[in-house]
Amino acid sequence: MEKLAHVPLANVADLLLDAICVVDAEGRYLYVNAAFERIFGYQPAEILGTRMIDLVHPDDRARTLQTVDEIMGGQPKPHFENRYVRKDGQIVHIMWSARWSEADQARFAVARDITELKRAERVQAALYAISEAAFSAGDLLALFGHIHRIVGELLPARNLFVALRDDNGMLDFPYFVDEQGQRPEPQPLDSDALSALVVRTGEALLLTPDNRDSVLPPGRRLIGHAALDWLGVPLRASRGIIGALVVQSYDGDVRYTERDKQLLQFVSDQVAAAIERKQIEARLHYVAHHDPLTELPNRDVFHDRLEVALARARRDNHPLALLYIDLDRFKQVNDNHGHDTGDMLLREVAARLRQCVRESDTVSRLGGDEFGVLLGQIRHPEDATQIAAKIHHTFDHPCMLGEHRLRIAASIGIALHPAHGDSREQLLRCADNAMYMAKSQGGNRFLTGAIANDTDATDDPRSD
């Protein structure tokens, strides 16, 4: 103890792991110990006489100055937290214990670096938030928005994109936020893009001006504009690597480090699990609402959309039309050429029907060789007849199905709202009756409900 008593106080202060700072009434550094350089990156000689507030993170300056006023007003602050910008540009989180000495006209403060503690807290919060987003997000696009926000709380992420591989060996970019570029087109997984390299190798990749020549393989390129810093990590899910999560920077204000790479890789597993969960949910939803053969909406979806369209038609007082389509002599196709050919024919019919209507209309496979078309918003009842004629005409062309060249025809029944009913059941029954009337007259024609109920009904002039 006696030997320690002769050690200069400055030497003792330099042995401390926390930084000690003395700042005058104008906010300029009068003294810092050796630990100041370890925490903030500046040597004491570089910092003495400079303003304390200049080192504070811009977003924390107003709050810091308010706290300084309180300290100088006689309120000691034992646990004040804010962020500083190190000499190398990195952000550090500081816990301050500070008080004002009226006699010395100076503030005395001890700074403890709590960056790692804050990082751990943010990572835990991010993992929880990603898990929550997987449950709360309505779809994948909404989930990507949540992920972007969450990652942005861990590290700078103004420019972030997600690359996902599909079953056909292609890499798609369902989420692409970039201040200098547009979302790229899908590309082969064996392309020379860095994101494809990350997916193929399963290895995180950090590219900076300092390591570009040694890290960037010959012939590789970046998605979009050439970034100053590029950081991508693989998304590892239960079924393997499903894609990559990438952040990039175009200016020196945002730089990425090996620590950022480790951080992003750490949370990427949770991100991948959340994406996989949403993909499974989307697939199950799709399977539950679509015909597996033609990929058209199924009967339940058709009925639901018809109910919605009817409610809108009643509200806006506009007509809608329902077409009921049944293929003529389809059983002969199965009997003569096999069910595989029949399935190919159904897919071809579905494709042709889609081409005959607008995107806002609904084409559905109702079952077997029966299809429904919902024209939710038409201006005139005659519009439905024109669409039916268009569908009728599209079957004039033969279908090339493997080695078979087949001709197909259809019977079409048309029901109109409000002329033929005001409920789903009435319209479906009317269209179905019209379709059977057309079939009973030889098929290969279309009839409206009104004509179907008329014993003097005439055929379409182009009918056989």
User: Are the C-beta atoms of 165 and 191 separated by less than 8 Å?
Assistant: no
Task: State how far the alpha carbon of 236 is from the alpha carbons of 164, 200, 266, 272, in Å.
Answer: 11, 12, 11, 6
Task: State how far the alpha carbon of 36 is from the alpha carbons of 13, 76, 98, 124, 246, in Å.
Answer: 11, 21, 15, 29, 34
Helices within 22-114 (DSSP H only): 35-40, 44-47, 61-72
Helices within 290-371 (DSSP H only): 299-316, 330-337, 339-356
Task: State how far the alpha carbon of 195 is from the alpha carbons of 161, 172, 218, 223, 245, in Å.
Answer: 10, 10, 15, 8, 8
CA atoms of 225 and 159, how far apart (whole Å): 11
- Which of 32, 107, 118 shows the shortest CA–CA distance to 75? 107
C-alpha torsion sign, points 383, 389, 394, 395: positive
The CA radius of gyration of the chain, in Å to the nearest whole number, is 35
Task: State how far the alpha carbon of 59 is from the alpha carbons of 79, 83, 84, 171, in Å.
Answer: 19, 9, 10, 38
Q: Which of 113, 260, 328, 369 is catalytic?
A: 369
Per DSSP (E only), the strands in 62-141 are: 77-85, 91-101, 106-113
- Which of 181, 211, 115 shows the shortest CA–CA distance to 154? 115
Q: What's the gap between Cα 350 and its chain centre?
A: 29
**Catalytic annotation present for 269:** no
- Beta strands 399-401 and 91-101, pairing class: unpaired
User: Are the C-beta atoms of 297 and 362 separated by less than 8 Å?
Assistant: yes
Torsion on CA atoms 151, 152, 158, 160, rounded to nearest 10: 10
Residues acting as catalytic residues = 369
